[in-house]
Amino acid sequence: MPERTDPPGLSNGVLLRLAFRNVRKSARRSILTASAMTLGLALLILSRTLADGAHESWIDQGVRLGAGHVAVQGEGYQTSKSLDDLLSAADLDGAVEALGSPQFESRVSAYAPRLTAPGLASSTGSSVPVLLTGVDPAVEVEFSPLDDLLAEGRYLEPDDRLAAYVGEGLVRRLGLRIGSRFVVTAADADGQIQGQLLRVRGVFRTGVPDLDQSLVHLPLSTAQDWLGTRGGVTSLAILMWSSRTAAAARRELRDLLPSRGVEVLTWTETAPELEAAVKIDDLGDWVFHGITLAIVALAILNAVLMSVLHRRREFGVLRALGLTANETGRVVIAEGVMLSVISGLLGIALGLGVVFGFWSDGLDMSFLMDQELEISGSLIDPVMVPAFRIAQIGWSLLFILFIGISASLYPARQAARIDVAEAMKFER
């Protein structure tokens, strides 16, 4: 070696060079160990990007059918679900005006006023409880997924008056056709029972029996007249481009709107069961990855430990040349870190390569299910579109580094504790 190491410490350059040589010297072992880590990390990246994408889609579908990422409602409506707690026409206008300000422009994708009431849909032979929603057809085309699930007829149009857009299940239960009339009954804002005649304009099919039987869309103005809400609605549902901006948007809206009579909520409050489903799926994912990577960690531990036990003599020589126990240990840890970094980068490249090389348009899981699946009121899209997040990649890299370092600690201690004389006594 041309330059001389300073007696008090081993320079980092030399330390890394020693470690690198060791990794290279036993190439086959290094490759096997690195493959396990690379594969483990690639798998982590793969499943995280797909899961993040899928969860965003669950949330998106759920809030489109439900109350939006952010909902502006009358105070108390969330618990009472009663028309006594309406969002008044004035408050609705205020909220719409606030949403028009430039701060929301880049984040809000659409907003829709809705008037929702539970009621009964009846034909001559049968009655079925339904959830009646008065909607503004022009904005709902952007917002609700229902208009895309058209099976027959057409979605509501702005000029419609006594029209209804209903699910396939309801049509079957009530024996309806396009153009047939049926009666919906519900309690109005004054608590009086009011009937309303509607004509079926279009039929949708979500594939989820509950939704196909219970959701009914009718024009907002018709619903407001029928239920006597004097321009009031039950909620203004707001759709964001990303669910991550919901909390901030709620805070800002709260500041802009009157504090009395108006409540601003995020989807985690209006659909807690949806958040629970996302959380539990995430939790299961992390446990699964924790376990697979723990198995990888044991493989690394074994590999590094074996390489240490094989090189007792070499470590003996290093110690005899003046390396401290601490420095010998650091050489071993450096080996572990080097293996982790190399396989970490390879794993990220492999994971991202597979995800975005093959599935950037989505991984179609529909071959596994021929029924629609519903989770917490959200329709599950069988096509999983991956979502890329820098933070997620960073976490994965940290995770694998942590595993690499912690798996090298025990072997490093073994290397540091070598008895120099004992280690150099025998020729092996």
Partner 1 sequence: MTSGRIWGRIARRNVRRNRRRTAITVGALALGFVASTVMIGLSEGIVAQMIENGTDLLTGQIRVHGPGYEPERSLYSTLGGRAGVDLDQMLAAIGGVAGIEAVTPRVYAGGLVSSGEETAAGILMGVDPELESSVSRILSALEQGRLPRRREREVILGQVLADRLRAEEGSEIVLVAPAADGSMGNDVFRVVGVFRTGAAELDAAYVLLHIEVLQALVALDRGRVHELAASVDDVWSSTEVVDLLPAAISSLDVEVAAEPWTRFRPDLAEYAQLAASFNWIIVLIVFVMAVFGVANTMLMATWERRREFAVVRALGAPVTGIVRTVVSETMVLGVVAIALGVAVAAPIVFWWSQAPPDLSWIVGDFTMAGALVEANLRVEPSVKGPLLSATGLLITVFLAGLYPAVRSARQRPADTLAGAE
Q: Does 354 bind partner 1 (CB under 8 A)?
A: no
Burial annotation 401-410 (CB, 10 A radius, 16+ → b, else e): eebbeebbee
* Sole binder of partner 1 in the list 138, 151, 178, 283 (CB under 8 A): 283
Compute the least distance from the CB of residue 319 to partner 1, in Å. Answer: 22
Q: Does 275 bind partner 1 (CB under 8 A)?
A: yes
Nearer to partner 1, 13 or 284 (CB): 284
Is the Cα torsion angle 244, 254, 77, 92 positive or negative in sign? Answer: negative
Q: Does 372 bind partner 1 (CB under 8 A)?
A: yes
Nearer to partner 1, 129 or 394 (CB): 129
Compute the least distance from the CB of residue 98 to partner 1, in Å. Answer: 30
Q: Does 5 bind partner 1 (CB under 8 A)?
A: no
Half-sphere exposure of 325 (CA within 13 A, CB side): 8
- Give yes or no for a contact between 40 and 296, defined as CB atoms under 8 angstroms apart: yes
Compute the least distance from the CB of residue 214 to partner 1, in Å. Answer: 8
Which residues, 219 to 238, sit near partner 1 by CB under 8 A? Answer: none
Those residues with Cβ within 8 angstroms of residue 116's Cβ, 6 or more apart along the chain or in another chain: 131, 132, 133, 134, 234, 235
> In sequence order, what DSSP letters do the residues of 227-296 get, joined into one string?
HT-TT-BSEEEEEESSGGGHHHHHHHHHHHS-SSSEEEEEHHHH-HHHHHHHHHHHHHHHHHHHHHHHHH
Nearer to partner 1, 173 or 201 (CB): 173
Say how many Å lie between the first and final Cα of the chain, rounded: 26
Nearer to partner 1, 43 or 135 (CB): 43
> In sequence order, what DSSP letters do the residues of 313-358 get, joined into one string?
HHHHHHHHTT--HHHHHHHHHHHHHHHHHHHHHHHHHHHHHHHHHH
Measured between alpha carbons, how far is 45 from 292 in angstroms, rounded to an integer? 13
Residue 116: name the closest of 138, 147, 144 by CA.
144
* Sole binder of partner 1 in the list 276, 320, 398, 421 (CB under 8 A): 276
Q: Does 427 bind partner 1 (CB under 8 A)?
A: no
Nearer to partner 1, 141 or 208 (CB): 208
Measured between alpha carbons, how far is 53 from 56 in angstroms, rounded to an integer? 5
* Sole binder of partner 1 in the list 368, 391, 426, 427 (CB under 8 A): 368
Q: Does 106 bind partner 1 (CB under 8 A)?
A: no
* Sole binder of partner 1 in the list 9, 175, 228, 394 (CB under 8 A): 175
Measured between alpha carbons, how far is 321 from 150 in angstroms, rounded to an integer? 80
Determine the interface stretch with partner 1 among 64-72, 248-256, 267-275, 351-359 (rule: CB under 8 A): 267-275
* Sole binder of partner 1 in the list 50, 203, 208, 239 (CB under 8 A): 208
Compute the least distance from the CB of residue 183 to partner 1, in Å. Answer: 11
Measured between alpha carbons, how far is 37 from 264 in angstroms, rounded to an integer? 46
- Give yes or no for a contact between 82 and 189, defined as CB atoms under 8 angstroms apart: no
* Per-residue x/- track, 286-325, partner 1 (CB under 8 A): -xx--xx-xxx-xx-xxx-xx---x---------------
Which residues, 110 to 169, sit near partner 1 by CB under 8 A? Answer: 118-120, 122, 125-130, 169
Which residues, 25 to 84, sit near partner 1 by CB under 8 A? Answer: 28-29, 32-33, 35-36, 39-40, 43, 80-82
Q: Does 197 bind partner 1 (CB under 8 A)?
A: no
Those residues with Cβ within 8 angstroms of residue 237's Cβ, 6 or more apart along the chain or in another chain: 63, 66, 67, 68, 71, 111, 112, 113, 114, 143
Distances (CA, A) of 323 to 9, 16, 196: 8, 14, 90
Nearer to partner 1, 240 or 308 (CB): 308
Compute the least distance from the CB of residue 172 to partner 1, in Å. Answer: 4
Nearer to partner 1, 264 or 380 (CB): 380
Interface with partner 1 (CB under 8 A), residue total 71
Compute the least distance from the CB of residue 310 to partner 1, in Å. Answer: 8
Nearer to partner 1, 90 or 298 (CB): 298
